[in-house]
Amino acid sequence: ESAAELEKAKQIAPNASKVHFHLAKAYRQLGRTADAAREDADFKVLKIKEDSLGLKTDRKPVALEKRPK
């Protein structure tokens, strides 16, 4: 997944931990270590919130799901 697509997903779903997780991974691959660290930190905070609320987070954000043609 490209960083640009994930950045769009982050705008749509800023509180989705998985978006931050995958964006951090993409930034690391691009050598953007400061951006990756920021996204890792955001992921951890959001994941703790989701877990404490019992939210199920095993689905990709809607913006990233492949839609039938």
How much is the average pLDDT of 22-46?
95
Percent of the chain with pLDDT over 90: 64
**Which residues touch 27 (CB under 8 Å, ≥6 apart)?**
3, 33, 35, 36, 39
Per-residue DSSP letter, 64? G
Res. 64: pLDDT tops 80: no
**At 3, which amino acid appears?**
A
Per-residue pLDDT band at 15 (split at 50, 70, 90):
very high
The angle formed by the CA atoms of residues 47, 52 and 54, to the nearest 5 degrees, is 95
- Of 65, 53, 52, whose CA–CA distance to 12 is shortest? 65
